[in-house]
């Protein structure tokens, strides 16, 4: 298999290229899921953990005290620590609707999120709608091909069709949210949520796999970690532990 740097060279989408490049340069395949509902706590967490991550994933609509300065401050931290911003909006409507949800409203996601994601459920028109807004800004889209919780419906044929849909719009689709590697086309990045240092569950359906299982055994590229980091006694140290575990698993996979 190719290194992240070799894969960066294959990518034409600028966000995919930037992502693989900074993963290689900063030796991290860790994405922080910053699911924090208070702005100051959110920013403090991102500043503390920023040096260990390649991507910070947000759910901007769960923040109680969101205001326009939130994004400016997040962008400053992204520059300071050199990470990409991924708004986990999970678009799932028709093309004309997702286009406006992406560009307009109170969040103007297209203006600041390098990466977004979408369900494949509405079909290729939704990707086209998002692409009308994001492509000329150099943004990238992850299609949700698989999900982490128990009993979810994104399985088998749905997953295969999602990957096919992504391949058909590979100028804008940079990869997949998945539990495993789904294609040998190395331009696509696979990002996997439901990761903790110890496998387990959360009581609301979430299923946790370890970094080694996700990266080495199942061939994914990026581990997405939320509570494993921000609920730890020391999130900075926890992030370093996840970063090391993810990077060790990647190096082991390269040697295998
Ligand atoms: O299938 C999925 C897809 C996503 S993007 N399962 C997930 O858990 N996620 C997101 O990853 C979820 O919305 C949350 O923000 C994060 C996992 O958080 P954790 O606290 O369980 O690590």
SS3 85: strand
CA distances to 46, 114, 115, 160, 214 from 57, in Å = 10, 10, 9, 25, 18
Q: Is the dihedral of CA 160, 162, 165, 169 positive or negative?
A: negative
Closest CA to 112 of 138, 130, 151: 138
Which residue is catalytic, options 88, 99, 131, 209?
Answer: 88
Alpha carbons 66 and 61: distance in angstroms, whole number: 8
Question: What is the pLDDT, as a whole number, of residue 227?
Answer: 98
Alpha carbons 128 and 146: distance in angstroms, whole number: 21
226 touches ligand 1 (CB under 6 Å): yes
- Is 57 marked within a binding site? yes
Q: Which two tokens stand for residue 173?
A: 């689709």
pLDDT tens-place string over residues 187-207: 999 999 999 999 999 999 999
Please say if the pLDDT value at position 223 is more than 90: yes
Provide mean pLDDT across the span 226-237: 98
Provide mean pLDDT across the span 73-91: 98
- In the residue annotation, 171 being an active-site residue is answered as no
Domains of the chain: 4-255 (3.20.20.70)
pLDDT tens-place string over residues 238-247: 999 999 999 9
Q: How far is the CA of 194 from the centre of ligand 1 (A)?
A: 6
**1: confidence class by pLDDT, cuts 50, 70, 90:** confident
Q: Which protein residue has the closest C-alpha to ligand 1 atom 18?
A: 226
pLDDT tens-place string over residues 84-119: 999 999 999 999 999 999 999 999 999 999 999 999
35 CB contacts (<8 Å, ≥6 apart)? 59, 62, 226, 227, 230
* Average pLDDT of every residue of the chain: 98
Question: What is the pLDDT, as a whole number, of residue 81?
Answer: 98
Alpha carbons 208 and 196: distance in angstroms, whole number: 6
pLDDT tens-place string over residues 137-176: 999 999 999 999 999 999 999 999 999 999 999 999 999 9
């Amino acid at each position: 298999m190719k290194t992240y740097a070799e894969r960066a060279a294959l990518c034409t989408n600028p966000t995919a290229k930037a992502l693989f490049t900074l993963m290689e340069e900063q030796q991290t395949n860790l994405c922080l899921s910053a699911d924090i509902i208070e702005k100051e706590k959110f920013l403090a967490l991102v500043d503390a953990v920023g040096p260990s991550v390649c991507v910070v994933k947000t759910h901007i609509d769960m923040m109680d005290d969101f205001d326009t300065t939130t994004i400016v401050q997040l962008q400053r931290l992204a520059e300071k620590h050199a990470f990409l911003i991924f708004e986990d909006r999970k678009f799932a409507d028709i093309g004309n609707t997702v286009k406006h949800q992406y560009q307009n409203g109170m969040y103007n996601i297209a203006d600041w999120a390098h990466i977004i994601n979408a369900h494949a459920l509405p079909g290729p028109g939704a990707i086209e709608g998002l692409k009308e807004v994001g492509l000329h800004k150099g943004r990238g889209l992850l299609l949700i091909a698989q999900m982490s919780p128990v009993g979810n419906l994104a399985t088998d044929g749905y997953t295969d069709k999602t990957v096919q849909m992504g391949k058909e719009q590979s100028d804008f689709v940079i990869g997949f949210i998945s539990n495993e590697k789904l294609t040998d086309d190395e331009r696509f990045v696979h990002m996997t949520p439901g990761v903790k240092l110890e496998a387990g569950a959360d009581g609301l359906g979430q299923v946790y796999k370890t970094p080694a299982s996700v990266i080495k055994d199942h061939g994914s590229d990026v581990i997405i970690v939320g509570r494993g980091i921000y609920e730890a006694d020391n999130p900075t140290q926890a992030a370093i532990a996840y970063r090391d575990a993810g990077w060790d698993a990647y190096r082991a996979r390269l040697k295998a």
